[in-house]
């Protein structure tokens, strides 16, 4: 298998984009990535699109062909593939794009992620989100995402003395980072008091512990590494790409304070590149809820199990801390347009490793990691990149 | 890239399976394939699942993880990927499964296709099917699938003198084949008169020119060819796997009597294996409507453009004819559970090449082809297999 590099990235503003359609934002991100790569559309040999639920949000399936068509690529008749793994759909698109180039099937492909969530009522969106967990044994009984993550939080608090303040600190940190991210839904600071006084959604999680419904799209152009310097002076190399699964239901897991899908995916990723957590300079992790970031930084082995809360409280995950987590603002402050998120993380790491992240730049960023999960962790996908 | 072989296949009955759930049928097909391969579940290294619209049909996304979980594979934490390309979702799962083994990433993987369509009202199902075409520029104006295929039929009739009788003959032939297929939804013969006197759905297409809504699932276990004989005495080799796209809207095509996605996919497939149409002994093609089979056998170069109708009339596509098409009964008689169909075609060709197709066996079948499209041809995927 040959090495793969990112030669271009593109992203839309995340937020309530009522004036733009599903296809508009997908194409906007894709064209920005193509322009950033400095290639012509005719050089794209295949498209991998991550999307969770366009069928229900905008009544449209066949999303791969739709995006290729509206991006002006239909005349080239390229393979256009849509993949879905709930909230990890974007990372899954990236993963398959990497495979398709690493294998030698294609030289240049585009990975895109897109979701248009605000064209339905918030109540409907809530129900649609619940299709990422087990409809038959969880959602139908009212166990939607916030309540399931609240269960994880409750056990984590009990077992490891994690506090509401530590969880709130995740939100405060990520919002502070997002102030410098023009693509984030919320470029606004929060205080601990803001988070802790916001309404309880599912005890112990407050409204401001939760990521938000959003529209958005992101894209990355991938190329065989040996050819990358024809297109860019700052290729970002894909050092590892690993995917794992777990039970879709939370109640079937051996331990709900650990996501085994993350544990298996990151183990494989570290093996692929012969690195360990100490080599990672920064990471974009899946903070759909603040407790999810705490669990993620433990499962990714940045911190020991049970120490994610205290590490967050002590500022170790801030930009300038031991390992900056979610310098973009994360799902929490960027918003979480489901299928877009995994590719947005890739875009952020690419910009960081290229030294183009402006005021949210992590100094001396050499190696970055992305971590994207589906549902409550039925899927986890980890990528490691280097400059 | 190394060669890939099928070492096991499994399929459920297709039809109105009201007593079984989405997950039940997916698992049933998968376990049959695993049993047919004679392997243990722990040998499966990845799962690729094709499904068009579980989000809308059964309110469930995250379908890859769900199926892996309910198949008892969650404990192995294997990558579980769901892909979607409307009615071509099954072939897309097969295509990616082939890539994943050919590339060397995995040695043994499972490709599955599943759809549960009969848990919603038929009117709802009709609307859901229309999400395979352009919601914004086709479906919203009432241009659903039957009316779009009727437009293709009308031009084909005008330009090539194709007749309603020739189209009806597709249905008659496929139903005659399905009499011997225990997994088909309809194991019943039709006459030309039955088809032509059935109600017009969209002139010139009658009800019996259309494939039907169904539940069903199919699966195939793929293995690196060099290891296939450890598991089976009758491996079926994947000689080519090719995917192409086109505009999602019919009105944007250069010619609506040809599907360019099929033309590009099959051209690539023939190149991969250095074969031409004369080497193909039988094919499973996408007859979602009878006109679709006529267009397919022309686009696949079995017959010249415009001669698909007369070839069908003269029996050239019957078992025993020059090139047997849809010996299984096709989508027309097997039923068309969207995401399952592309894998069902693979199962049929595998059974034919293994000489296990019973009374519908094509004599001396050495090389077989599958052809699966999404929507009106926005996606086409072609596989070529040999024994």
pLDDT over 90 at A273, yes or no:
yes
Report the C-alpha gap between B270 and B382 in whole angstroms: 10
Structure token digits, residue B360: 């519908």
Task: Compare all CA atoms of chain B with the CA of A264 and give the residue at the minimum distance.
Answer: B77
Q: Is residue A87 flagged as an active site residue? A: yes
Chain B residues with CB under 8 Å of A82 CB are 83-85
Q: Could you tell me if residue B129 is inside a domain?
A: no
- Return the beta strands (E) in chain B as ranges: 4-11, 46-50, 80-84, 108-115, 200-202, 205-206, 216-224, 236-245, 282-284, 367-374, 379-386
| Alpha-carbon gap: B60 to the closest alpha carbon of chain A (Å) | 5
Domain with B80, as residue range(s), is 4-121+214-236
Which chain B residues are Cβ-neighbours of A83 within 8 angstroms? Answer: 81-84
Domain assignment of residue A137, yes or no: yes
- Do A325 and A365 lie in one domain? The reply is yes
CB contact under 8 A, A245 and B59: no
Number of domains composing chain B: 2
Catalytic residue among B87, B210, B223, B334: B87
Q: How far apart are CA B16 and CA B337, in angstroms?
A: 10
Task: Identify which of A85, A135, A247 has the shortest CB distance to residue B58.
Answer: A135
The mean pLDDT of A148-174, rounded to a whole number, is 98
Are residues B61 and B105 located together in one domain of the fold? yes
Smallest CA–CA distance from B244 into chain A, residue: A79
Q: Which residues of B touch A62 (CB under 8 A)?
A: 84-86, 131-133, 248, 374-375, 378-379
Q: Which residue of B has its CA nearest to A80?
A: B245
Question: B81 vs A102: CB contact, 8 Å cut-off?
Answer: no
User: Three-state SS across A86-123?
Assistant: CECHHHHHHHHHHHHHHCCCCCEEEEEEEECCCCCCHH
Whether residues A88 and A106 share a domain: the answer is: yes
Smallest Cβ–Cβ distance between A245 and the set B68, B100, B134 belongs to B68
If asked whether residues B257 and B335 sit together in one domain, one would say: yes
Query: Hey, is the C-beta of A261 within 8 angstroms of any chain B C-beta?
Result: yes
Cis before residue B204, ω within 30 degrees of 0? yes
Which 119-178 residues of chain B touch chain A by CB within 8 A? 127-128, 131-136, 139
State the pLDDT at residue B1.
83
Query: What is the per-residue pLDDT for B228?
Result: 97
Predicted TM-score (pTM) of this structure = 0.98
Given a contact cutoff of 8 angstroms between Cβ atoms, the answer to whether A87 and B63 are in contact is: no
Candidate list B175, B206, B336, B371, residue with the active-site label: B336
pLDDT for A122? 83
- Average model confidence (pLDDT) for chain A? 97
Q: Is B289 exposed, middle or buried (0-12, 13-18, 19+ CB in 10 A)?
A: buried
Give residue B326's pLDDT.
Answer: 98
Active site residue B87: yes
Q: For A304-338, what is each residue's pLDDT tens digit?
A: 999 999 999 999 999 999 999 999 999 999 999 99
Number of Cβ within a 10 Å radius of residue B165: 14
Would the pLDDT of A1 be above 90? no
User: Annotated catalytic residue: which of A156, A336, A371, A383?
Assistant: A336
Whether A62 and B82 lie within 8 Å, measured CB to CB = no
Encode pLDDT of A251-266 as tens digits.
999 999 999 999 999 9
If asked whether residues A8 and A85 sit together in one domain, one would say yes
Note the pLDDT of residue B126: 86
For position B53, what pLDDT does the model report? 96
B64, B97, B249: best to mutate for the A interface, most A CBs within 10 A: B64
In whole angstroms, what is the distance from residue A337 CA to residue A167 CA? Answer: 22
Q: What is the CATH number of the domain that holds A29?
A: 3.40.47.10
CA distance B135 to chain A (A): 6
User: B373 with B292: CB under 8 angstroms?
Assistant: yes
Scanning every residue of chain B, which has its alpha carbon at the shortest distance from the alpha carbon of A92?
A: B81
Same domain membership, residue A285 and residue A177? yes
How many angstroms separate the CA of residue A134 from the nearest CA in chain B? 7
Q: What is the mean pLDDT of residues A350-359?
A: 98
Q: What is the pLDDT of residue B125?
A: 87
Q: Does B85 touch chain A (CB under 8 A)?
A: yes
- State the pLDDT at residue A101: 98
Locate B193 and state its tokens.
């008169």
Asked if B66 lies within 8 A of A134 by C-beta distance, the reply is yes
Query: For B261, which of A61, A77, A85 is closest by C-beta distance?
Result: A77
Q: Which residues of chain B does A104 touch, with a Cβ-Cβ cutoff of 8 Å?
A: 1, 103
Residue B278 lies in a domain: yes
Task: Give A144→chain B minimum CA distance, Å.
Answer: 13
Distance from C-alpha of A63 to C-alpha of A55, rounded to nearest angstrom: 9
Mutate to test the interface with B, among A238, A245, A259, A266 (most CBs of B within 10 A): A245
Residue B380 burial (C-beta neighbours within 10 Å; 0-12, 13-18, 19+): buried
Q: Please indicate if any CB of chain A lies within 8 Å of the CB of B236.
A: no
**ipTM exceeding cut-off 0.90 for this assembly:** yes
| A51 shares its domain with A141 | no
Q: Mark B25-60 as b/e (b = at least 16 C-beta within 10 Å).
A: bbbbbbebbbebbebebebbbbbbbbbbbbbbbbbb
Task: Tell me whether residue A276 is in a domain.
Answer: yes
Q: What does pLDDT average to in each consecutive run of 10 residues of chain B (387 residues)? A: 96 97 98 97 97 96 98 96 98 98 97 97 88 96 95 98 98 98 98 98 98 97 98 97 98 97 98 96 98 98 98 98 98 98 98 98 98 98 98
- B291: three-class secondary structure by DSSP: helix
B101 CA to chain A: closest CA distance, Å?
Answer: 10
Are the C-beta atoms of residues B3 and B225 closer than 8 Å to each other? yes
Considering only CA atoms, give the Rg of chain B.
19
pLDDT at A185: 98
Q: Tell me, yes or no, whether A142 lies in a domain.
A: yes
User: Which positions in chain B touch A81 (Cβ < 8 Å)?
Assistant: 83, 85, 92, 96, 243
- The minimal CB distance from A80 to the residues B56, B99, B379 is found for B379
B128 found inside a domain: no
User: Could you tell me the two tokens for A275?
Assistant: 């690195």
Residues 36-55 of chain A whose Cβ lies under 8 A from any Cβ of chain B: 52-53, 55
Query: Is B303 contained in some domain?
Result: yes
Q: What's the pLDDT score for residue B26?
A: 98
Task: Give the model's pLDDT for residue A184.
Answer: 98
Q: What is the pLDDT of residues A99-112, one digit of tens each?
A: 999 999 999 999 99
Residue of A22, A45, A53, A64 to mutate when probing chain B, most B C-beta within 10 A: A64
Contacts across the A-B interface (CB distance below 8 Å): 197
Q: Do both A352 and A341 map to the same domain? A: yes
Distance from CA of B142 to the nearest CA of A (A): 14
Nearest residue of chain B to residue A47 (CA atoms): B245
What pLDDT does residue A350 have?
A: 98
- Note whether A77 contacts B264, CB cutoff 8 Å: yes
Specify if A375 maps to a domain.
yes
Question: Is residue A18 packed enough to be buried (19+ CB in 10 Å), middle (13-18) or exposed (0-12)?
Answer: exposed
Q: Does A280 touch chain B (CB under 8 A)?
A: no
A298-313, pLDDT tens digit by residue? 999 999 999 999 999 9
Give the one of B1, B85, B244 whose C-beta lies nearest to A62's C-beta.
Answer: B85
Say whether residue B258 is in contact with chain A using an 8 A CB cutoff.
Answer: no
Residue written as token pair 């994690």: A162
Is A337:A215 a contact under the CB 8 Å cutoff? yes
pLDDT tens readout for residues A220-258: 999 999 999 999 999 999 999 999 999 999 999 999 999
B46: nearest Cα among A281, A83, A33: A83
Which value, to the nearest 10 degrees, does the dihedral of the CA atoms of residues B23, B106, A263, B80 take? -20
**Per-position DSSP letters for B8-54, written without gaps between them:** EEEEPPPB--TTS-HHHHHHHHHHHHHHHHT--GGG--EEEEE-S-H
Digit-coded pLDDT (tens) for A172-200: 999 999 999 999 999 999 999 999 999 99
Express each pLDDT in A361-373 by its tens digit: 999 999 999 999 9
Please state whether beta strands A80-84 and B108-115 pair in parallel, antiparallel, or not at all (unpaired).
unpaired
- For residue A4, the Cα-to-chain-centroid distance in whole angstroms is 20
Residue A126 has pLDDT above 90, yes or no: no
pLDDT band at A123 (very low <50, low <70, confident <90, very high): confident
Q: CA A238, CA A325: separation in Å to the nearest integer?
A: 19
Of A55, A61, A79, the CB nearest to B244: A79
User: Per the CB < 8 Å rule, is A86 touching B100?
Assistant: no
Same domain, A343 and A200: yes
Distances, alpha carbon A132 to alpha carbons A53, B7, B79, in Å: 9, 32, 16
Residues A22 and A72 in one domain: yes
Secondary structure (3-state) at B367: strand
Q: What percent of chain A has pLDDT over 90?
A: 98
Instruction: Mark whether A142 and A31 lie in a shared domain.
Output: no
Name, in order, each residue with C-beta under 8 angstroms of B85's C-beta and a sequence gap of 6 or more.
Answer: A62, A64, A65, A80, A81, A82, B91, B92, B374, B378, B379, B381
Give contacts of B 87-126 with A, CB under 8 A.
92, 96, 99-100, 102-105
Of the candidates A236, A225, A224, the one whose C-alpha atom is nearest the C-alpha of residue A367 is: A236
| Residues A112 and A48: beta-carbon distance below 8 Å | yes
Same domain, yes or no: A265 and A222: no
Q: Alpha-carbon distance A385 to A368, whole Å?
A: 5
């Amino acid at each position: 298998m040959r090495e793969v590099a990112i030669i271009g990235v593109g992203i839309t503003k995340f937020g309530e984009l009522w004036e733009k359609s599903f296809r508009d934002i997908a194409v906007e991100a894709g064209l920005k990535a193509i322009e950033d790569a400095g290639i012509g559309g005719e050089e794209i040999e295949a498209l991998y699109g991550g999307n969770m639920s366009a069928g229900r949000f905008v009544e449209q399936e066949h999303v791969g062909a739709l995006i290729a068509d509206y991006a002006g690529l239909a005349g080239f008749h390229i393979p256009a593939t849509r993949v879905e793994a709930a909230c990890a759909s974007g990372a899954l698109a990236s993963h398959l794009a990497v495979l398709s180039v690493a294998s030698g099937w294609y030289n240049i492909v585009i990975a895109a992620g897109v979701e248009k969530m605000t064209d339905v009522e918030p109540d409907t969106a809530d129900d649609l989100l619940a299709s990422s967990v087990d409809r038959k044994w969880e959602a139908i009984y009212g166990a939607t995402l916030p309540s399931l993550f609240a269960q994880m939080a409750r056990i984590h608090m009990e077992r490891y003395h994690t506090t509401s303040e530590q969880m709130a600190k995740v939100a405060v940190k990520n919002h502070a980072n997002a102030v410098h991210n023009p693509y984030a839904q919320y470029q606004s600071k929060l205080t601990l008091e803001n988070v802790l006084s916001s309404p309880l959604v599912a005890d112990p999680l407050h409204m401001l512990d939760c990521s938000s419904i959003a529209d958005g799209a992101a894209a990355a152009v991938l190329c065989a590494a040996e050819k990358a310097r024809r297109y860019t002076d700052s290729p970002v190399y894909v050092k590892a790409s690993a995917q794992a699964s777990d039970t879709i239901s939370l109640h079937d897991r051996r331990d709900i304070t650990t996501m085994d899908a993350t544990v298996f995916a990151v183990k494989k990723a570290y093996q692929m590149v012969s690195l360990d957590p100490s080599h990672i300079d920064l990471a974009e992790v899946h903070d759909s809820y603040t407790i999810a970031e705490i669990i993620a930084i433990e499962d990714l082995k940045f911190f020991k199990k049970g120490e994610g809360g205290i590490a967050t409280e002590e500022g170790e995950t801030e930009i300038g801390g031991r390992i900056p987590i979610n310098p973009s603002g994360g799902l929490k402050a960027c918003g979480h347009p489901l299928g877009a998120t995994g590719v947005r993380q890739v875009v952020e790491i690419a910009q960081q490793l290229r030294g183009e992240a402006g005021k949210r730049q992590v100094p001396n960023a050499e190696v970055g990691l992305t971590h994207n999960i589906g549902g409550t962790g039925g899927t986890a996908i980890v990528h490691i990149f280097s400059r």
